[in-house]
């Protein structure tokens, strides 16, 4: 038995995980059911970015561009990154869609099961922590460099002493942060946050006082600006007439803005 603090042998220090050690020792066969270590140079994950959300006079507006990329390749230009979880909750995703969509399905089923068994809605704190737990459970994959998800969660709180919209963003480890005004994640988020900060502080109105058309204008301008500097952000595809998905969470539930309305706002206020 080696004394505590003994240096790790060089051959062990170079290994990435325990299965790799077993294969090197000949204790695990490299069959189709037990493949060798993934060559990261030949494996590129699909990623979906960019998403944003902010509070306005009608509730919380949540928007996401449509582009999904793998490295420098555009995999899909109509990805749905703004997902309805229940009647008053939205999860917007940035990161690996396969992992994020599975998290969204688990959340949806969890909320439904609680509602049907307890005959009441899960509390907002319970919903927020449920997503946080899913992210923590996924952290093992994150440490291996796969399956990273950094979401935004928007909902409406009826049970609080001050009912109203609630908005949260998360890190990849599951830490949750409630924001009072706006949030953005994904590769294009630095540009988006700059736009939202400017509009909120020096625009004609603070974000919280914008009407719906004005809020849609700000969201479109932010995503279109991010797309100018970030190739992973689709923004507005003028030639393909592909617009971001925009949903609103309010006391009355979730409404999805029609593409025709988004196109009309874009033509009038952005293009």
**Could you tell me which residue, 37 or 221, shows the higher pLDDT?**
221
pLDDT for 145 equals: 81
Q: What does the pLDDT look like over 227-239, one tens digit per residue?
A: 999 999 999 998 8
pLDDT for 26 equals: 67
Which residues lie below 8 Å from residue 141, measured CB to CB, with a gap of 6+? 99, 147, 148
> What mean pLDDT do residues 178-196 have?
96
* Percent over 90 (pLDDT), the chain: 72
Which residues lie below 8 Å from residue 265, measured CB to CB, with a gap of 6+? 213, 216, 217, 220
Q: 19 pLDDT band (50/70/90 cuts)?
A: low
Q: Is 49 a catalytic residue?
A: yes
Q: Starting from the edge strand earliest in sequence, which strands make up the sheet with 253-256, in order?
A: 182-185, 51-56, 59-64, 245-250, 253-256
Residue-range domains of the chain with CATH: 47-270 (3.60.20.10)
Which residues lie below 8 Å from residue 188, measured CB to CB, with a gap of 6+? 49, 50, 65, 223, 226, 227, 229, 230, 232, 233
- HEC secondary structure over 93-138: CCECHHHHHHHHHHHHHHHHHHHHHHCCCCCHHHHHHHHHHHHHHC
Encoding tokens for residue 199?
């509009």
pLDDT for 187 equals: 93
pLDDT for 35 equals: 44
* Marked catalytic residue, from 49, 99, 225, 233: 49
pLDDT for 18 equals: 63
Q: What does the pLDDT look like over 39-71, one tens digit per residue?
A: 555 556 778 789 999 999 999 999 999 999 988
pLDDT for 28 equals: 56
Q: What does the pLDDT look like over 143-174, one tens digit per residue?
A: 888 889 999 999 999 988 889 999 999 999 99
pLDDT for 218 equals: 97
Q: Is the pLDDT of residue 209 over 90?
A: yes
Which H or E element spans position 229? helix 212-229
């Amino acid at each position: 038995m080696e004394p505590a603090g003994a240096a790790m042998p060089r051959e062990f220090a170079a290994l990435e995980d325990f299965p790799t050690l077993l294969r090197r020792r000949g204790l695990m066969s490299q069959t189709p059911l037990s493949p060798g270590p993934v060559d990261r140079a030949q494996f590129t994950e699909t990623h979906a970015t960019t998403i944003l959300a902010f509070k306005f006079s009608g509730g919380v507006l949540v928007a996401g561009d449509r582009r999904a990329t793998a490295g420098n390749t555009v995999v899909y230009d109509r990805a749905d990154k703004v997902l309805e979880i229940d009647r008053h909750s939205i999860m917007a995703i940035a990161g690996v869609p396969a992992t994020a969509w599975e998290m969204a399905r688990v959340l949806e089923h969890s909320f439904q099961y609680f509602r049907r068994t307890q005959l009441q809605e899960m509390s907002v704190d319970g919903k927020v922590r449920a997503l946080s737990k899913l992210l923590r459970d996924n952290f093992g994959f994150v440490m291996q460099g796969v399956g990273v998800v950094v979401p935004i969660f928007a909902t409406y709180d009826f049970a609080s002493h001050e009912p109203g919209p609630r908005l949260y963003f998360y890190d990849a480890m599951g830490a949750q942060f409630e924001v009072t005004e706006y949030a953005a994640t994904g590769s294009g988020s630095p540009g988006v946050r700059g736009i939202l900060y400017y509009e909120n502080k020096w625009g004609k109105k603070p974000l919280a006082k914008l009407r719906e058309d004005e809020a849609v204008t700000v969201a479109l301008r932010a995503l279109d600006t991010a797309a100018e500097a970030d190739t992973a952000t689709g923004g507005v595809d003028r030639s393909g007439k592909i617009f971001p998905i925009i949903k609103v969470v309010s006391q009355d539930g979730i409404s999805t803005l029609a593409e025709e309305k988004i196109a009309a706002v874009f033509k009038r206020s952005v293009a």
